[in-house]
Structure 1
């Protein structure tokens, strides 16, 4: 029996991708997410689009322009959409229940921002014993006071490669490696 996988696309929302908050390699990250989502759908694995809901904070209010997903993302009616309320996607979002219902064991994680919601979700997934694959070139962030966005991404990819997991496992692979593995699985 093949391991049930799910693709998590975290916070790829218009409010995080403005001229005031530019992100590293936005077009490349979006294209890689779209490619992964296509493969997941072909393999009949779920694709989750997760949106931060500011929950009356004045930012990322549900159904506002900021809250909307980027127009460039290819979202299908079969995809699962969830709101989240903290950096950790698992916090009060219903994600855990849905993953258990779908008998999911492995999560491929993408999205924004590397050093906030992506990082927090990875840590949380590991404590819940999921196998985690971080898409090394499938997450992004902005410039930080002491590090460029590119260096933040490089740093976190290194951290995740060197983590000690719980009962699950963690690996960091780039898009091309993942697609090659999926292609071998689907076409062999």
Structure 2
């Protein structure tokens, strides 16, 4: 059984610079989520909760998950306050209960919360699939978004781990 983790795909990400291929990312996440649910897998939405310093304050419009995301009653929502959704949340306990064969990771922002999620999933001894066309970021001062995404996909494929870290495009996973 697979678990799909969707990191921080919230309304607040629409503020600021445009996110790379956001509509395509949402469409691919929705297709993956539907496929995983059909195969009795689990979809986990990670929702960032911040203080007044940004657009993810609980209860505000920016905190809400993007309305374009297709959600189901059985989906889990994990609220986090740090980049790493395994830190100070019950994500590790929830995953231990369901014991997925592998964890697929998607979401925003590639270089921050998605990266922390990939590394923590590996550190928590899960086989990980990074959905290479399922995560996004905006341009950074030193790199354009496409380069940030390409760089992180390369880094993740070279992590030293005792578990599997696989990179795959959505269409490969839907076969």
TM-score by length of 1: 0.89
Q: Please, which of 154, 165, 172 is the counterpart of residue 167 of structure 2?
A: 172
Cα deviations across residues 118-161 of structure 1 (Å, max 9, x unaligned)?
Answer: 00111111111100000000000011011000110011011111
Match of 2:4 in 1: 7
Q: Distance in 1 between matches of 2:98 and 2:52?
A: 32
Pairing 1:31–2:14 present: no
Q: Please, which of 125, 138, 143 is the counterpart of residue 129 of structure 1?
A: 125
Larger radius of gyration: 1
User: Structure 1 residue 10: deviation in Å?
Assistant: 0.3
TM-score by length of 2: 0.96
Match of 2:68 in 1: 72
Q: Please, which of 154, 159, 165 is the counterpart of residue 155 of structure 2?
A: 159
- Give 5+ residue unaligned stretches, structure 1: 181-188
- Give 5+ residue unaligned stretches, structure 2: none
Runs of 4+ displaced beyond 2 Å: 56-59
User: Structure 1 residue 93: deviation in Å?
Assistant: 1.5
3-state SS of 2:78 partner: strand
3-state SS of 1:134 partner: strand
Q: How many residues align?
A: 174
3-state SS of 1:133 partner: strand
User: Structure 1 residue 47: deviation in Å?
Assistant: 0.2
Match of 1:44 in 2: 40
Cα deviations across residues 10-45 of structure 1 (Å, max 9, x unaligned)?
Answer: 000010122x23100000000000000000110111
Cα deviations across residues 27-71 of structure 1 (Å, max 9, x unaligned)?
Answer: 0000000000000110111100110011x3443111211111111
